[in-house]
């Protein structure tokens, strides 16, 4: 008699319990504090945006024509739970200089995206910027139990793709002609960190953020990619 047919392959069994929604609470780190976005941040964010029109190139909103226009945008963003936005206040300056969001929140699938990131030039390539991202990734995975952390960006946005790879996100592929942003066609590159990859990424981020990793002039002694490679 022929052997019985093999059963069809199935994915790994997981805990199907829906993950909690993130709460609108402050998150505090060594170099940055994340505050639930509010219109009280508008004045500082408007000032941080001056002379930084290029920083909005790949975002769906901005640059804004006036402080009032930015305030209206912040009001809308602060009133939603998905995306949920936090303003970033670097400890060194005490001045709100950017924001970032958790979005596309899928509690039943334990998947969540880090997105809607706008950092003014004064926050780019800083410990505060990296720590702000770390704090939301930690909240999503360690605290809330999401198994899939997502980063996606315009396929032409080289800086965002470098940032994703530096943080340890794995490139998954490209959705061609995915959406239209500001009247232009956009291909979207997708990245992820899944649950078994997060501990290495987390430990590398913590090692990079350690004050011992910085020279007196603030230069990092070891890069994040280098540290992650050493720990793997």
How confident is the prediction for the chain on average, in pLDDT? 97
> What six digits make up the tokens of 14?
């997981």
Strand partners, 173: 190
Position 138 scores a pLDDT of: 98
pLDDT band of residue 118 (cuts 50, 70, 90) is: very high
Position 3 scores a pLDDT of: 83
The mean per-residue pLDDT over the stretch 101-114 comes to 98
Report all structural domains of the chain as residue ranges with CATH numbers, in order of start: 27-231 (3.40.630.30)
Question: DSSP string of the chain?
Answer: -PPPPPPPP-PPP---PPPPPPPS--EE-SSEEEEE--GGGHHHHHHHHTT-GGGGTTSSS---SSHHHHHHHHHHHHT-SSSEEEEEEETTT-S--EEEEEEEEEGGGTEEEEEEEEE-TTTTTSHHHHHHHHHHHHIIIIIT--SEEEEEEETT-HHHHHHHHHHTPEEEEEEEEEEEETTEEEEEEEEEEETTTHHHHHHHHHHHHSGGGB-TTS-BSS-HHHHHHHH-
What are the two backbone dihedrals, phi and then psi, of residue 129, each rounded to the nearest 5 degrees? -65, -45
157-187 pLDDT tens trace? 999 999 999 999 999 999 999 999 999 999 9
Position 4 scores a pLDDT of: 85
The mean per-residue pLDDT over the stretch 52-62 comes to 96
41-53 pLDDT tens trace? 999 999 999 999 9
pLDDT band of residue 190 (cuts 50, 70, 90) is: very high
- Is pLDDT of 1 > 80? no
Q: Among residues of the chain, what percentage have pLDDT more than 70?
A: 100
């Amino acid at each position: 008699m022929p052997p019985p047919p093999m059963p069809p392959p199935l994915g790994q069994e997981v805990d199907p319990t829906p993950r909690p929604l993130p709460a609108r609470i402050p998150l505090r780190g060594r170099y940055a504090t994340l505050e639930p976005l509010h219109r009280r941040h508008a004045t500082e964010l408007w000032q941080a945006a001056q002379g930084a029109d290029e920083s909005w190139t790949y975002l769906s909103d901005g640059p804004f024509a006036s402080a009032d226009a930015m305030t209206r945008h912040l009001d809308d963003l602060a009133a939603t739970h998905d995306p949920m936005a936090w303003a970033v206040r670097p400890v060194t300056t005490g001045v709100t200089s950017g924001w970032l969001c958790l979005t596309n929140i899928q509690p039943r699938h334990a998947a969540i995206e880090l997105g809607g990131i706008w950092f003014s030039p004064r926050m780019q390539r800083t410990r505060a910027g990296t720590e702000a991202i770390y704090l939301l990734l930690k909240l999503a995975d360690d605290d809330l139990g999401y198994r899939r952390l997502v980063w996606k960006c315009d396929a032409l946005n080289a800086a965002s793709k470098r940032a994703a790879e530096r943080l340890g996100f794995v490139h998954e592929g490209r959705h061609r002609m995915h959406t239209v942003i500001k009247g232009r066609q956009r291909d979207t590159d997708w990245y992820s960190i899944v649950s078994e990859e997060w501990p290495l990424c987390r430990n590398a981020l913590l090692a990079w953020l350690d004050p011992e990793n910085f020279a007196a002039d603030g230069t990092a002694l070891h890069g994040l990619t280098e540290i992650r490679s050493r720990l793997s």
